[in-house]
Amino acid sequence: MADIKDRVASRIPEVTNREIDLREAPPPVFQLEDLSVYYGAFLAVADVTLAVLANEITAFIGPSGCGKSTILRCFNRMNDLIETARVEGKLSYHGVDLYGPQVDPVEVRRRIGMVFQKPNPFPKSIYENIAFGPRIAGQRNNLDDLVEETLQRAALWDEVKDKLGDSALALSGGQQQRLCIARAIATQPEVVLMDEPCSSLDPIATLKIEELMQELKKEYTILIVTHNMQQAARVSDRTAFFSVDVNEKGQRTGRLVEHDTTNKIFTTPSRPETEAYITGRFG
């Protein structure tokens, strides 16, 4: 374990921002080097280079079409589900190239969980929603304990402990989304990806999810895509700002403008584009 950390740490200077104090920074979990995503011949996002650090919340912000969700979906190979999607460049997870020929996307997704924009619980019982992932991963025993512990971590246990057998679809939107977070951590991942997890929730449910994220980041590394800049400012430690370029054919290609501590991005961004977006003057 230690030598992996050392190996990864040795690569930090190439990619991390100069603001980060390397001696204090935790080792990066992910390193992206010139990562580009194509849909067929269309370049959706170009040349993203950044590092994601452990036990931090990294927020991806930017206007619609800037490719922030597309990049997020590279981290657990979710883009594999789109037939035409193709990835160039390097995305390494603890030094392992996630798009290497030997990598099994199923194993990737067990270690890197995901929560989606629209709450999408399985149309099964609350219990089954949590137990499905561990069961297909081969766990047969102590599923009851695992379900309880997972739901407690997701701050949902008290609300559902008496109706574990009920359909998950009967829960409210906010509860469903917390169930989806619980489902994501039930396979005991290291990372949780969240693709606009609060965009369909009311402010109270959003607050609960944000509190939960603060709790979870003690043990998990979290990446979140959000349209809500206040949310990025509230919850994240680091923020990546993406923008979009339109070429002469009208094709929109996203690119990473700036990646830094959230505090820096929202107070003294180094790029004028970032400042314009943060302050609402963009276009």
Partner 1 sequence: MTTSVRPYSASPEMVRRALEGKKISVVDLLVSTALLLALLSSLAVLLTLLIDVVSEGMPVLSTRLVDFVTSPLSARPESAGLVQGLMGSLVLVGFVIVVAFPLGVAAAIYLEEYAKDTPLNRLLVSNVRNLAGVPSIVYGLLGLAVFVKALSGVTNGRTLISGGLTLAVLVLPIIVITTSEALRAVPRGLREASFGVGATGWETIRHQVLPVSFPAILTGSVLAVARAFGESAPLLLAGAVLSNFFSAPAGTSFISQVAEQSYTALPIIIYNWARQPQEEFVALTAAGIVVLLVALLLVNAAAIIARDRFERKQVS
State which residue, 113 or 174, has the beta carbon closest to partner 1. 113
133 binds partner 1 (CB under 8 A): yes
Phi, psi (degrees; rounded to nearest 5) at 40: 65, -125
The window from 16-24, 58-66, 116-124, 151-159 that contacts partner 1 (CB under 8 A) reads 116-124
CB of 132 to partner 1, least distance (A): 6
Residue whose token pair is 């009967």: 170
223 binds partner 1 (CB under 8 A): no
Q: Could you give the CA distance from residue 75 to residue 277 in angstroms, rounded to a whole number?
A: 25
3-state SS track over 137-188:
CCCCCCHHHHHHHHHHHCCCHHHHCCCCCCEHHHCCHHHHHHHHHHHHHHCC
Q: Round to the nearest angstrom and report the end-to-end CA distance of the chain.
A: 46
The window from 112-120, 141-149, 206-214, 261-269 that contacts partner 1 (CB under 8 A) reads 112-120
53 binds partner 1 (CB under 8 A): no
**Residue 235 three-state SS:** helix
State which residue, 38 or 116, has the beta carbon closest to partner 1. 116
Pick the closest to residue 89 from 77, 99, 78 (CA basis).
Answer: 99
CB of 2 to partner 1, least distance (A): 27
Q: Could you give the CA distance from residue 105 to residue 177 in angstroms, rounded to a whole number?
A: 24
122 binds partner 1 (CB under 8 A): yes
Among the residues of 52-142, which ranges form H helices? 68-72, 105-111, 126-136
The window from 27-35, 40-48, 120-128, 213-221 that contacts partner 1 (CB under 8 A) reads 120-128
DSSP E strand boundaries for 70-132? 85-93, 96-97, 112-115
State which residue, 27 or 121, has the beta carbon closest to partner 1. 121
State which residue, 118 or 161, has the beta carbon closest to partner 1. 118
CB under 8 Å to 27, separation ≥6 — which residues?
5, 8, 9, 12, 53, 54
3 binds partner 1 (CB under 8 A): no
Among 44, 147, 180, 212, binds partner 1 (CB under 8 A): 180
136 binds partner 1 (CB under 8 A): yes
- Using CB under 8 A as the criterion, which residues of the chain lie in contact with partner 1 when the complex forms? 76, 78, 81, 83, 106-107, 109-110, 113-114, 116, 118, 120-125, 132-133, 136-137, 165, 167, 180, 183-184, 186-187
